[in-house]
C-alpha cells in the first residue's frame, strides 16, 4: 500500500508566485526584500486555510536562501532550502502556540533567540496560532519582541487578531490575508485535477469551491474525499450527493410552482426535500440565496456578483425575466422574517410551510395593494393537485411583468454592448405555459392585456390630455408651495405612449417639477396608471424673456436715468445749483 499524501501537502506552494489569491501580500514582501527594509516582526492574520503559514515558511526560506532569484523567490536547491524542506534547519524554528502556550514554552523560545544562526544570516521564528498564548506568555515574550537581536526575525500567524494584546500588535507589521475567491479556487482545483489525471466537471469544482467558503485547504480536503470515491472522476451529482447539498434545479422548479400559484406542487416539493434528510433551515437558507440570485439577475451591472458557472447563470437569467422586482423583494422580506422566528417556532416544518404558502399567493397580495378596488375574491381558488396551468388573470399578470422586464433589459445601458443580448428566453419555460406567446408580439400582448384588464376590472386605462390637465391643475391649486404652484401653472402638458411630458421654459422650473414626485404617485394611484412615466422637457421658446437694459454706470448716466423716471429731479438740480457728478 503506497503512502498517500493529501493534496493540501502535496501541492503546498514553495514560492510566492504559487500562492493563490494573496498577490498583495506576496508583492509587498518581495518589495521589502528587494529594498532591504525587512521588519523584525510580522503578523499574518486572516481566515483559516488561505496561506498564512505557507507565506511565513516561504519568507523564512527566501531570507536565508543562498541563491535567491532576481524576483526574490527561494531556489529550493541550496543547503538552507533543502534543510528546511526536510525539517532539519537550525535557523528556522516553528512553534504551535495552540499546544505551547504557557510561560515556560515562551521562556524556552527566548533562550533559543539568544543562540546566533548556524550557517546563515538570520534566525527566523514562526509562531502559529499566536492568539492562543496566555496573557503571562505574551508579557514574557513582549520584551524580546520589542528589542530582538539583529539576526532574529519573528513571523506570527493568527486567525483571531482581536485576541492579541495591543502591545504586541504595535510592534509588528500586520498583513491581512483575504478569502480566496471562487474563480481562483476553481482554477487551482482544475490544475490539480489535470496533474492527477482526474476527469472533473466544472460545475462540480465550482460547488466544492462554494462549499469551502474561501478556504483553499478546505476545498482541497473536500476534493480528496470526493475523488477517492469517484474512481478518477468527479461529477456534479456526486458532489451534491456526498456533500448533502440541495441542487439548484429544485429551487428553479419551486420558482415555477410559485409563479403558477400551484400550492400542492410547492408543498409536495418541500416534502420531498425533507424526506431526503434535509432540515427545513437548510432549505430556507438555500431558498433565500436563490431569490437573492434572481434579484441580482434583474440588472446588467449586478450580474457579475453571481458566483455561478455560465450554464447555471443562464438558467437564472431566464427565470429572472418571469418575476418582477417587487415580488423578489417582498419574497426576501418574508424569508428573512421566517429565518428570524425559525428558532423559536415549535413546529418548524409548519412554520416553513406557512412561509411557502405566503410566497405562493404573494403576487395576488401585491396586485391587490396596487388595485384595491378590484375584486380578487372570485379568482382566489385552490388549485387541484397536479394542475400546472395558470388562470387567465394570473397568466396576463405574468405576461405583463415579463413585457415590462424585457423592455427594461432591452434598453441599452452605458456599459452594455449594443449587439449582444443579455440572455434568450428559455423555450423550456414556454412549453410549461408560463409566459404565453412569444415576446416578438409584444404590442399584441400589451393590447390584449389592456383589453382584458378593462373587461374584467371595469377600470379606465386611457385618459385624454384634457383629463390629465384637470387633475394637474387641481393638484397645483392644493399645493402649499407657491413656487410649485406657479411652475405647474406655466407648464405645458403632452401625453403619449404612457409618458406624461411637462414642457417648461427654465432649468429652475424643471428641477421644481422633478422634485415634486408626489403628483405622479397620486396620478398612478387615483387614475389606475401604475406604469405612468413622467418627463420634464425644457422648451426654449417658453423661456424667452425681454432683454434687460444695461444699468447706468457713470454719474451722468445715473442722472439721465433719474430724470427719465422723475422729471422733477431736473428742476431740483437747477434750484439747488447742483451738478450731476456730485
Place of cell 426654449: 540
- Using alpha carbons, list the distances in angstroms from residue 54 to 128, 298, 376, 461: 11, 41, 64, 68
How far apart, in whole angstroms, are the C-alpha atoms of residue 571 and residue 36?
93
Is the distance from CB of 309 to CB of 203 less than 8 angstroms? yes
Q: How many CA atoms lie within 13 A of 55 on its CB side?
A: 30
pLDDT of residue 271: 92
pLDDT of residue 480: 55
Is the distance from CB of 292 to CB of 284 less than 8 angstroms? no
Fold type of domain 7-176? Rossmann fold (3.40.50)
pLDDT of residue 462: 64
List per-residue pLDDT tens for the chain, 582 residues long. Answer: 457 788 888 888 888 888 998 889 999 999 998 888 888 899 999 999 898 999 999 998 898 888 888 888 888 888 888 888 887 788 888 888 888 888 888 888 888 888 888 777 889 999 999 999 888 888 888 888 888 888 899 999 999 999 888 888 988 999 999 999 888 899 999 999 988 888 888 888 888 988 888 889 989 998 988 888 767 788 888 888 888 788 888 898 998 888 888 899 999 999 999 988 888 988 999 999 999 988 888 887 888 788 777 778 888 888 887 788 888 899 999 999 999 999 888 898 999 999 999 999 888 887 776 655 554 444 444 333 333 333 344 444 444 544 444 444 444 444 444 443 333 333 333 333 333 333 333 344 434 434 444 444 444 556 677 777 877 887 777 765 677 777 788 888 888 777 888 888 777 777 778 777 778 777 777 777 777 788 888 877 775 444 445 566 677 777 777 777 777 778 777 877 777 665
How far apart, in whole angstroms, are the C-alpha atoms of residue 438 and residue 407?
14
Q: Are strands 173-176 and 152-158 parallel, antiparallel or unpaired?
A: unpaired
Please tell me the class of the 253-411+423-431 domain: mainly alpha
Helix boundaries (H) for 299-391: 310-320, 325-340, 348-360, 362-370
Region(s) of the chain under CATH 3.40.50.300: 7-176
Burial of 546 (0-12, 13-18, 19+ CB in 10 A): exposed
**Closest by CA position to 394, among listed 383, 405, 384:** 383
Other beta carbons less than 10 A from residue 39's beta carbon: 13
Q: Does the 182-242 domain belong in CATH 3.40.50.2300? A: no
- Using alpha carbons, list the distances in angstroms from residue 401 to 363, 405, 407, 448: 11, 6, 10, 14
* DSSP 8-state code for residue 425: P
pLDDT of residue 458: 46
- Please give the model's pTM, rounded to 2 decimal places: 0.58
Task: Please provide the DSSP assignment of 456-515 as one string.
Answer: HH-------HHHHHHHHHHHHHH-S-HHHHHHHHH-EEEEETTEEEEEESSHHHHHHHHH
Place of cell 472533473: 200
How far apart, in whole angstroms, are the C-alpha atoms of residue 239 and residue 105?
44
**Closest by CA position to 263, among listed 169, 336, 363, 338:** 363
SS3 (DSSP) at 21:
coil
Is the distance from CB of 413 to CB of 301 less than 8 angstroms? yes
Q: How far is CA 197 from the centre of its chain?
A: 36
Q: How far is CA 118 from the centre of its chain?
A: 52
Where b means 16+ CB within 10 Å and e means fewer, 520-543 reads eeebbeebbbeebebebeeeeeee
Is the distance from CB of 316 to CB of 253 less than 8 angstroms? no
pLDDT of residue 372: 56
pLDDT of residue 175: 93
**Closest by CA position to 288, among listed 312, 254, 244:** 254
Please tell me the class of the 465-543 domain: alpha beta
Cell representation of residue 494: 403632452
Region(s) of the chain under CATH 1.10.8.60: 182-242
Region(s) of the chain under CATH 3.30.300.180: 465-543
pLDDT of residue 236: 86
How far apart, in whole angstroms, are the C-alpha atoms of residue 475 and residue 473?
5
Region(s) of the chain under CATH 1.20.272.10: 253-411+423-431
Cell representation of residue 172: 509588528
Amino acid at each position: 500500500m503506497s503512502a498517500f499524501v493529501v493534496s493540501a501537502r502535496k501541492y503546498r506552494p514553495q514560492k510566492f508566485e504559487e500562492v493563490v489569491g494573496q498577490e498583495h501580500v506576496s508583492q509587498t514582501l518581495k518589495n521589502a526584500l528587494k529594498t532591504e527594509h525587512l521588519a523584525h516582526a510580522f503578523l499574518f492574520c486572516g481566515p483559516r486555510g488561505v496561506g498564512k503559514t505557507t507565506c511565513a515558511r516561504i519568507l523564512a526560506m527566501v531570507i536565508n536562501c543562498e541563491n535567491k532569484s532576481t524576483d526574490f523567490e527561494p531556489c529550493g536547491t541550496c543547503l538552507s532550502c533543502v534543510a528546511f524542506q526536510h525539517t532539519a534547519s537550525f535557523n528556522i524554528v516553528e512553534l504551535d502556540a495552540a499546544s505551547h502556550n504557557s510561560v515556560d514554552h515562551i521562556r524556552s523560545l527566548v533562550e533559543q533567540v539568544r543562540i546566533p544562526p548556524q550557517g546563515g544570516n538570520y534566525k527566523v521564528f514562526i509562531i502559529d496560532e499566536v492568539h492562543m498564548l496566555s496573557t503571562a506568555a505574551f508579557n514574557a515574550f513582549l520584551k524580546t519582541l520589542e528589542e530582538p537581536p539583529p539576526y532574529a526575525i519573528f513571523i506570527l500567524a493568527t486567525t483571531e487578531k482581536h485576541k492579541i494584546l495591543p502591545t504586541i500588535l504595535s510592534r509588528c507589521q500586520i498583513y491581512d490575508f483575504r478569502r480566496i475567491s471562487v474563480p481562483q479556487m476553481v482554477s487551482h482545483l482544475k490544475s490539480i485535477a489535470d496533474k492527477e489525471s482526474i476527469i472533473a466537471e466544472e460545475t462540480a469544482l465550482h460547488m466544492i469551491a462554494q462549499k469551502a467558503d474561501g478556504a483553499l485547504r478546505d476545498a482541497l480536503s473536500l476534493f480528496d474525499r470526493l475523488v477517492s470515491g469517484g474512481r478518477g472522476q468527479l461529477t456534479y451529482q456526486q458532489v451534491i450527493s456526498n456533500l448533502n447539498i440541495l441542487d439548484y434545479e429544485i429551487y428553479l422548479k419551486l420558482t415555477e410552482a410559485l409563479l403558477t400559484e400551484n400550492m400542492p406542487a410547492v408543498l409536495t416539493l418541500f416534502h420531498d426535500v425533507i424526506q431526503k434528510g434535509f432540515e427545513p433551515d437548510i432549505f430556507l437558507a438555500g431558498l433565500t440565496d436563490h431569490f437573492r440570485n434572481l434579484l441580482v439577475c434583474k440588472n446588467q451591472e449586478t450580474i457579475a456578483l453571481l458566483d455561478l458557472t455560465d450554464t447555471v447563470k443562464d438558467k437564472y437569467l431566464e427565470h429572472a425575466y418571469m418575476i418582477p422586482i417587487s415580488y423578489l423583494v417582498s419574497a426576501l422580506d418574508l424569508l428573512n422574517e421566517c429565518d428570524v422566528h425559525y428558532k423559536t417556532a415549535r413546529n418548524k416544518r409548519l412554520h416553513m410551510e406557512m412561509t411557502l404558502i405566503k410566497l405562493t399567493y404573494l403576487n395576488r397580495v401585491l396586485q391587490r395593494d396596487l388595485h384595491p378596488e378590484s375584486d380578487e375574491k372570485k379568482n382566489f381558488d385552490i388549485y387541484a393537485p397536479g394542475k400546472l396551468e395558470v388562470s387567465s388573470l394570473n397568466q396576463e399578470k405574468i405576461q405583463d411583468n415579463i413585457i415590462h422586464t424585457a423592455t427594461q433589459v432591452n434598453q441599452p445601458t452605458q456599459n452594455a454592448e449594443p449587439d449582444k443580448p443579455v440572455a434568450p428566453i428559455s423555450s423550456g419555460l414556454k412549453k410549461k405555459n408560463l409566459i404565453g406567446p412569444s415576446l416578438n408580439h409584444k404590442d399584441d400582448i400589451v393590447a390584449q392585456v389592456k383589453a382584458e384588464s378593462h373587461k374584467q376590472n371595469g377600470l379606465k386605462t386611457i385618459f385624454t390630455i384634457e383629463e390629465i390637465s384637470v387633475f394637474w391643475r387641481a393638484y397645483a391649486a392644493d399645493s402649499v408651495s407657491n413656487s410649485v404652484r406657479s411652475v405647474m401653472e406655466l407648464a405645458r402638458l403632452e401625453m403619449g405612449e404612457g409618458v406624461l411630458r411637462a414642457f417648461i421654459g427654465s432649468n429652475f422650473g424643471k428641477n421644481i417639477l422633478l422634485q415634486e414626485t408626489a403628483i405622479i404617485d397620486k396620478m398612478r394611484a387615483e387614475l389606475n396608471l401604475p406604469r405612468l412615466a413622467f418627463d420634464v422637457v425644457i422648451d426654449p421658446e417658453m423661456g424667452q424673456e425681454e432683454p434687460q437694459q444695461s444699468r447706468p454706470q457713470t454719474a451722468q448716466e445715473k442722472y439721465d436715468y433719474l430724470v427719465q423716471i422723475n422729471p422733477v429731479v431736473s428742476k431740483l438740480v437747477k434750484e439747488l445749483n447742483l451738478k450731476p457728478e456730485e
